[in-house]
Amino acid sequence: MTALALYIPALHAGYLKLFEKHAKDVDALFIFNEDLIREFAPKEFRALPAEETKKLVSGLGIFRTIRVLTKNGIAELAGFQKIILADDELSKKFAERFLAGADIVFEPVFLRWDEKNVLSQTPPEDVRVSTDPFDREIMEKAKKEGEKSSDWWRRVGAILVKDGVILLRVHNRHHPSEHTPYIDGDPRDFVEAGTKHGLTTALHAEQTVIAEAARKGIALEGTSIYTAVFPCAVCAKLIAFSGIKKCYFHSGSASLDGERVMKSQGVEIILVK
């Protein structure tokens, strides 16, 4: 028997695709209730109550059994051979605390848009090109990290490296929750791609690298950053004055004065192919 257990703060197309995918192989859907959610994340004031979500999903006629999962009812999941969870941080924390040893499958629920319609593929000028196997390997890891992001428009991973050792790996993330753009909407919907970088509920991957390094006491002097997309002007300036000495990227284009400022501070810019 297979159970699908989800936090559904807002019912959107990502969840509907997941429902349709598992309509025939899931025996019961469990929806996390509010008390259970508060164990792992701040309260989302605009999130749908679990009982209301249950009514909406029941109306779709996809699942025969739908239950609201409470802290006291977690033991019900023990009766299932496989448990499908959303590939988000809350579900991972839930699994770590309550489902040790269970057969778990993490499935994506966040919406994705065609990157070709979002990202400019014109790189900055006068940059070194690298085909080094190590650089390619780290860049692939950065792109893989970016896939964890819930952002509709850009999924960007960044990795901090020094002397061939990975120090940090992060991705752009919405706050206070990964589900924020689905509950409140995304202000980037009304902004032309590549402009007004500060108008977002997400913390960029490069910003997160620098913030995490500060929090963990990691010195940035002499480090390298690998980012799947060329940094925006704001992130480029942070990199320029952080002590990071090499910025590797795979796609995207420089905006405003980001490239110039990085070069002025001795940051080498490298395109990984």
Domain shared by 101 and 119, yes or no? no
Provide the β-strand partners of residue 83: 3, 104
The confidence score (pLDDT) of residue 118 equals: 46
The confidence score (pLDDT) of residue 95 equals: 95
Alpha helices in the chain (DSSP H): 13-21, 34-37, 50-58, 89-98, 133-146, 180-183, 205-216, 233-240, 258-264
Higher pLDDT pick, 222 / 13: 222
The enclosing domain of 28 has a CATH number of 3.40.50.620
Chosen domain end from 69, 86, 107:
107
Which range among 10-19, 34-43, 183-192 has the greatest average pLDDT? 10-19
Give me the mean pLDDT over the 187-216 stretch. Answer: 74
Domain shared by 63 and 167, yes or no? no
Higher pLDDT pick, 92 / 184: 92
Domain shared by 263 and 228, yes or no? yes
Domain shared by 263 and 131, yes or no? yes
d(CA 68, CA 55): 11
Higher pLDDT pick, 117 / 251: 251
Residue 117 has pLDDT above 50, yes or no: no
The enclosing domain of 136 has a CATH number of 3.40.140.10
Q: Are 149 and 60 in contact (CB under 8 A)?
A: no
Give me the mean pLDDT over the 91-112 stretch. Answer: 88
Q: Count of domains in the chain?
A: 2
Domain shared by 61 and 123, yes or no? no
Domain shared by 90 and 129, yes or no? no
Confidence tier at 54 by pLDDT (50, 70, 90): very high
Domain shared by 144 and 195, yes or no? yes
Residue pLDDT, tens place only, 130-145: 999 999 999 999 999 9
Give me the mean pLDDT over the 77-86 stretch. Answer: 94
Total-model pTM: 0.59
For the ranges 116-125, 195-204, 209-218, 238-247, which has the lowest average pLDDT?
A: 116-125
CA distances from 71 to 26, 32, 38, 67, 79 (A): 22, 9, 11, 13, 16
Residue pLDDT, tens place only, 163-199: 999 999 999 987 666 666 665 555 544 455 555 555 5
The confidence score (pLDDT) of residue 192 equals: 56
Domain shared by 138 and 222, yes or no? yes
The percentage of residues in the chain with a pLDDT greater than 90, rounded to a whole number, is: 59
Domain shared by 262 and 207, yes or no? yes
Chosen domain end from 107, 135, 157:
107
Domain extent at residue 210:
115-272
The confidence score (pLDDT) of residue 176 equals: 64
Domain shared by 160 and 193, yes or no? yes
The percentage of residues in the chain with a pLDDT greater than 70, rounded to a whole number, is: 81
Which range among 93-102, 184-193, 199-208 has the greatest average pLDDT? 93-102
Higher pLDDT pick, 46 / 191: 46
Comparing CA positions, the residue from 105, 97, 93 lying closest to residue 3 is 105
Chosen domain end from 41, 76, 107:
107
Residue 221 DSSP symbol:
T
Domain shared by 166 and 146, yes or no? yes
The confidence score (pLDDT) of residue 188 equals: 46
Residue 125 has pLDDT above 80, yes or no: no
Residue 177 backbone phi and psi in degrees, to 5: -145, 150
Q: How many CB atoms lie within 10 A of CB 264?
A: 10
The confidence score (pLDDT) of residue 184 equals: 54
Domain shared by 152 and 98, yes or no? no
The confidence score (pLDDT) of residue 190 equals: 44
